[in-house]
Structure 1
């Protein structure tokens, strides 16, 4: 029996589904506050969202977000952090100041109100214009030895079948069929729809070939999609390589978290570990040449 089954699956397939990551009580609790955050956004009271019919709510841990402490408890939960540590190959020593994880992003993916919305086939950090040779080089550099310097996940609070992936594509260049396919190709060869039940999470390599489909919600009906989307980083990878630090800092801070994470009122009051992880993000974003200011 493997001691790292989640990492084994991630390395082999490019994604791993972790079932029942939340208890039924937690699902109900988080669904309630996620619905409140979505309603606040839909009615214009929260300005940070993904456009296209509002399909995402940004900055769930922002000091001004109602329910941010509950969202933070979810993000920093030992259960989620344990999976992330396995996938990034680290063992956290919480008895010292050497916190290996970096706080990154925590957002909410929701169903658009008026019409369906789709994302193109893509890899998060490899341009679609890259040649096959460039793809292979960049994929190897971004996850040496099969491990990434960050982990990202979708955690479903309602049934979710929005993420579509091509298993194994995180370790190879695109095939001719993939390279020449329509950006919104509905039937990519070997694609798989990742189906999640409430409380399930999918952790995935950000450079697996993937896309998202967002079915709109019924008018005036209940929210049909409430999926928490988070990412966590690895401090050691940033500290050892200045260029990697710059690239990852840019990728995270471009989402706007750098405008508030350094503020005094951004403290979570949840113990030392969340504050150490937040401090790691502040430190990551203040190096030379990052290109983003933590003052906004």
Structure 2
């Protein structure tokens, strides 16, 4: 059934949901996100995204602040993450799950069994210098021909329906995501294909502007990039954006390409290392049956050993 959020996602490749968090929730999550960022910047958390690298695998040692430091904190749902219980209540919150279900076409009678826990990370401002991500689609290589792009886009979101929901949820004002609306349904134009990797003014681009509590859900294969402004020296954190994804449990034999789709999604998720800890006994959440069913569906995807990486760089 068509809905306003799903219509926007199909048409534009993204949809902004305003006030998904209350001001009280924003303040609460901003506090624990700030603490997680400080801990990571100072070497107390080993899972992060580092400047100037865009895609995994990530280094194991954060670069010094003078070189930009980190731009992301990984694995907010890890059993050893401080504030994990609160992060989990956010990730599994009914308001976020409801939007994800809507966008993935999950009916109420399927909801308890269909969803897969995937990733929950934090995007932050680098230190001392700005950082940018190049134009990309999350799991279609930039070397793909127009014909290959069309085939892959059709396979990954047939009829505009995705097997996962990906979002940015802002805890500070955020204007970092830049997209080309509608590019999730077509091959790149000649201008897009020949554009510089960090082209600042791609034709028809749009900067997605979020206020604290707002979220943008987007097709991961829309043509997009990110811009990260450095935080003021010794100042408050200027970007704290929760970056999450939820999956849809594949149905064996649903189509001829079912196994290949499962493999591609497993790579996209497990390349980040979540499979190394999600099966642990202490990874249980203790906040109801649904999170545990979603976690079990992720465990079933495997450990991630040997899956490789979606993109390079």
Q: 1:73 aligns with which of 77, 82, 89?
A: 89
Distance 1:159 1:239, change over 3 A: farther
TM-score normalised to structure 2 length? 0.89
Partner of 1:251: 268
Distance 2:160 2:298 in 1: 24
Q: Can you list the C-alpha shifts for 1:92-138, whole angstroms capped at 9, x where unaligned? A: 4379xx61000000000000011000000000111101111111111
What is the Cα deviation at residue 248 of structure 1? Answer: 0.9
| Deviation of the 1:244 alpha carbon | 1.3
In 1: Cα distance, 2:78 partner to 2:184 partner: 32
**8 Å CA contact 2:168, 2:217 repeated in 1:** yes
Aligned ranges 1:195-206 → 2 under 5 Å: 195-206=209-220
Q: 2:20 maps to which residue?
A: 21
Taking structure 1 as reference, are residues 67 and 247 closer, same or farther at Cα in structure 2, changes over 3 Å only?
same
Superposition deviation, residue 278 in structure 1: 0.1
Alignment of 1:100-179 (within 5 A): 100-179=114-193
Q: Is the 8 A contact 1:150 1:234 kept in 2?
A: yes
1:55-102 superposed Cα distances (whole Å, 9 cap, x missing partner) = 00000000000000100000000000000000000124379xx61000
Query: 3-state SS of the aligned residue for 1:284?
Result: coil
Q: Which whole-Å CA distance do the structure 2 matches of 1:239 and 1:31 have between them?
A: 43
Report how far residue 3 of structure 1 moved: 5.5
1:186-225 per-residue CA deviation (whole Å, 9 max, x = no partner) reads 0000000000000000000000000000000000000000
Judge conservation of contact 1:249–1:290 (CA < 8 Å) in 2. no
Q: Which residue of 1 aligns with 2:224?
A: 210
Aligned to 2:306: 291
Displacement after TM superposition at 1:4 (Å): 1.0
Runs of 4+ in 1 over 6 A off after TM superposition: none
Please tell me whether the aligned partners of residues 125 and 239 of structure 2 are also in contact (alpha carbons under 8 angstroms): yes
Which residue in 2 is equivalent to 1:38?
A: 37
Q: Does structure 2 conserve the Cα–Cα contact (< 8 Å) formed by 1:258 and 1:292?
A: no
1:239–1:28 distance in 2 versus 1, CA, 3 Å:
farther
Offset of residue 270 of structure 1 = 0.7
Judge conservation of contact 2:250–2:262 (CA < 8 Å) in 1. no
Check 1:236–1:262 CA distance in 2 against 1; reply closer, same or farther (3 A cut): same
Asked whether 1:260 is paired with 2:277, we answer yes
Match of residue 103 from structure 2:
87
Aligned partners of 1:5 and 1:198: how far apart in 2? 22
CA contact (8 A) 1:246 1:290 kept: no
Within 5 Å, give how 1:273-288 maps onto structure 2. 273-285=290-302
Residues of 1 paired with 2:151 and 2:307: CA distance?
27
Structure-2 separation of matches of 1:18 and 1:244:
28
Corresponding residue number in structure 1 for 2:194: 180
Is 76-85 or 243-252 further displaced after alignment? 243-252
Shift of 1:291: 3.3
Q: What is residue 6 of structure 1 aligned with on the other side? A: 5
Q: Which structure 1 residue ranges, 5 or more long, are not aligned?
A: none
What is the CA-CA distance between 1:246 and the residue it aligns to? 1.6
SS at structure 2 position matched to 1:236: coil
Which residue of the partner structure matches residue 54 of structure 1? 70
1:269 aligns with 2:286: yes
